[in-house]
Amino acid sequence: MKKVDISKITLIAIMVLMTAISSNINWGKERWKGIVEADGKGYYAYLPAVFIYHDLNFGFFDHIEKEKYYNPNRYYDYRANSGTGQLINKYYSGTAVAELPFFVMAHSLTIATNGDADGYSKYYMIFINIAALFYLFLGLFYLRKTLIAYAIPRWAISATLVAAVFATNLFVYTVVDTGLSHVFSFGFISAFIYFTKRYFNTPKAKSLPVLALLLGIIVLIRPVNLLIILSWPFLAGSLKSVKEGLKFAIIHYKNLIFSAAIFVIIVSIQLIIYKISTGQLIVYSYQEEGFNFLDPHFIDILFSYKKGLFLYTPMYLLAMFGLIPFFNKRKFAVLSWLIFFVIITYVFSSWWMWYYGGSFSSRVYVEYIPLFMILFAVLLAEAKSKKWRIALLSLTFLLLVVCQVQTYQYRYYEIHWDEMTKEKYWDVFLMRNRLG
C-alpha cells in the first residue's frame, strides 16, 4: 500500500481553507469592492488601460475612481506626472502581467453574463483575489519541492507550509491586502528558488532560460527584488558549486545569451509602456521618493513598534534559528544567508518610507519567506529528540495564534495600518476594542 504523503495533503488542505476564508471575507455582498485597494489599484490599472480603455495615460481614472465607484475611504490616485506633461501609472506593470490570465477570465465571464465590462465590476475584483490564491499555491507548491530537495521529512514540510501561511504576514497579503504585489512575487520567487537549487545541484543548459524567465517577471513586478540573485550562494551550498554553476553557464554561452534575451524582453515591457505613454523609454515614476543609503533604518524595520518584522511576525526570527544546525554542516551556506539577509535589510530600510505605508509587519519580506522557511524546516528536521520537536511545534503554534489575532486586529484597525507606537501596541496586545 502506497504511503500517504502528508505534505501533499497539507498543501491541498491549506489551499481549500484559504479559498474558503477569502470567499467568506471578500466575495459576498458589497465586500468585493474592497478587494483591490491603495497600491493594488495602480498595479491592476494596466489591464483595463490596455484591454478596455486603450489609454496608458489613464484618462478613465476620474470616471472610475471619482464617479462610478467613488468611496472616500478607498479613493486612491495611483497616477504620477511623467515630467513631460503626461500622466502615467506610478507603479510597475509586473503584477498586472501576473494577473492577466485571471483578468481575461473575468472579462469573458462578465461579457457572457451581460455584466458591466468596465474592468472594475464584481467578477474582475473577485478574480484578482483568485489570482492571489493561485500565486500563493504556486509559491507553496515550489516551497514544498525545495524542501524535498533538502531532504526534509514530510511531517516537517507540512508544519513549515502551515507556518509560512498562517504564522507570517503572507496570510494578510493573500486575503486582506490582496491587490498588492507581494503574494505574486512570493509565487515567482519560490519557483525561482526551486529552479536555482536544482540548477546548482545538477547544472543543465535548459534551466537557464527558465531562471531568466522567472527573474524577468520578478524584476518586472518589483525591480528591487533583483536582489534575489544574492541568494544563489546559499542555495548552491558551497563555493565550489557556485563556481561550477557559473562555469557551466559560460561554457553554454548560447543558452546564456538566449536566457539574457528572455530577461531583457520581459523587463522591456515596462520600457515599452513608458515609450507609448510618454515618448520616453526611461521614466522614474516615483519622482521625489527614493532610497537614502546613508540613513538606513536597520533596527526599526526589524524591531520597531511601527512595523517591526520580528515584533509583529516573530516567526521570521524563529526561522533564523535554523542557521544553528546549518552551521554544523554548511558554514558557507550560513555565511551566505546572513550576507543576503543583511544586504536586503539594508536596502529595504534605506527606502525613504522604511515602514512602507499602510501594511502589517514589514511587507517587503513576504516574497522572501521561502528562504526563511528553508531554515525553519531544517530546524525542525534536526531536532534530535521528541521533546525538542514538541517544544518547537508548540512555540510555532503559539506564534501562529499571535499572528492570526494580530491579523484580525489589523483588519479591524485595532492595530493601525500606519500609526502604531509602543503605547498603542501594548494597549491592544491580543485584546479587542481598546484602540481609539
- Local confidence pLDDT in tens for the 436 residues of the chain: 567 899 999 999 999 999 999 999 999 899 999 999 999 999 999 999 999 999 999 999 999 999 999 998 899 999 999 878 899 999 999 999 999 999 999 999 999 999 999 999 999 999 999 999 999 999 999 999 999 999 999 999 999 999 999 999 999 999 999 999 999 999 999 999 999 999 999 999 999 999 999 999 999 999 999 999 999 999 999 999 999 999 999 999 999 999 999 999 999 999 999 999 999 999 999 988 999 999 999 999 999 999 999 999 999 999 999 999 988 778 999 999 999 999 999 999 999 999 999 899 999 999 999 999 999 999 999 998 899 999 999 999 999 999 999 999 999 989 988 889 999 999 988 775 544 4
- All cell numbers assigned to 62: 476620474
Q: What is the rounded distance in angstroms from the CA atom of residue 376 to the CA atom of residue 382?
A: 10
Q: Which residue intervals of 313-417 are DSSP H helices? A: 315-320, 323-329, 331-349, 369-381, 386-411
State the Cα–Cα distance between residues 360 and 312, nearest whole angstrom.
8
Q: What is the pLDDT of residue 432?
A: 58
**Distance (Å, whole) CA 197 – CA 193:** 6
Domain parsing of the chain, residue ranges: 6-15+127-428
Look up residue 168 and give its three cell numbers: 507570517
Helices 386-411 and 154-166: angle between axes, nearest 10 degrees: 20
The one-letter amino acid at 403: C
pLDDT digits (tens, 9 = 90+) for 137-156: 999 999 999 999 999 999 99
Tell me how far apart the alpha carbons of residues 398 and 400 are, in angstroms, rounded to a whole number.
5
In 3D space, the residue among 210, 188, 174, 165 whose CA is nearest the CA of residue 94 turns out to be: 188
Q: According to the model, what pLDDT value does residue 434 have?
A: 47
Q: How far apart are CA 83 and CA 4, in angstroms?
A: 60
Give the C-alpha separation, 143 to 139, whole Å. 6
Other Cβ atoms closer than 10 A to 54: 9
| Cβ-contact 171, 15 below 8 angstroms | no
